[in-house]
Structure 1
Amino acid sequence: MNQFLSRRTFILIPTMSFLKIIFKPMQVLASSLASKEEWNFSKDEWKARLSPETYYILREEGTERAFSSQLNNEKRKGNFHCAGCDLPLFSSDKKYDSGTGWPSFWDSIEGSVETKVDFKLIVPRTEYHCSRCGGHQGHVFNDGPPPTGKRYCNNGLALKFVPD
């Protein structure tokens, strides 16, 4: 009997800890998004506000084809805003050419994005969303340049560029 309990404990405790790691970021994201009533639109309201392609990325967490965004080559000074709610997310001085085919940044504007764990490709990735409307932007990786070492790999259709 003790052997059974120790095996059960051995299996359950790591599993429960793992589930807490997965669901805690999603709960934090959900609670912070719930407080943003003005951007709590229905599916049909979002579809009316956005193009089908932008809706797919922002609201269904889709991804555009690599090298398809004109923003990948944008070099002017300014800010990159969320295409859903116009919140500034990235400054042009934090943009760099990652060679991946998507607009990439080594840091976001403080408080502009929120993250959660994504298991769509089986291995965990860090997905990030606009902190105001919850629109999916892309994924952040730990292979970027100094000083942060981060690569915010963004869908171009999830952004709009506002020049200085």
Structure 2
Amino acid sequence: MGELRRARLAAAVAVTCATVAGAVVGVPSTAVAKPIAAPADFNGRGFQDLVVPAPTATVGGKHGAGAVAVLYGSRNGVSAARKAVFTQNTPGVPDTAEAKDLFGGSTAFADLDKDGYSDLIVGASGEDVGRFTDAGSVTVLWGGRRGLSGARLLPVPADPHRSR
């Protein structure tokens, strides 16, 4: 592995670990991010939103497919009246809910695209990838003025069980 690739991988791991730990990390970049008013503020209203993972939820009759609920915050706190639920069957979210995917088994947030809105990173440790059982997947749900919408499935190696 080349030095540049190793340095990029180390920076990515540091940012991911710091994000999960809730720390703020300064990583050199040419892009300038707008400051986020509150951590996990997916709609930019200045109030922290709450992520409630349910990785063993049944979705479309598939037990353990998984879901993630987001309760949007306000001056009065979070409320179930202002919520959104995301699964792999949600329009705009890639893939399809399958039994034992465990979508939502891990979550983190960061402003990945540096637009001033937190984005939600969702792991599905039981996701099958090609011929590999339980290889896992990572989906990014993008934050924006109306909350989370649109998503991208991050690529996995061709052989996720082979070390590089």
**TM-score normalised by length of structure 2:** 0.33
Q: Higher helix fraction: Structure 1 or Structure 2? A: 1
Q: Higher strand fraction: Structure 1 or Structure 2? A: 2
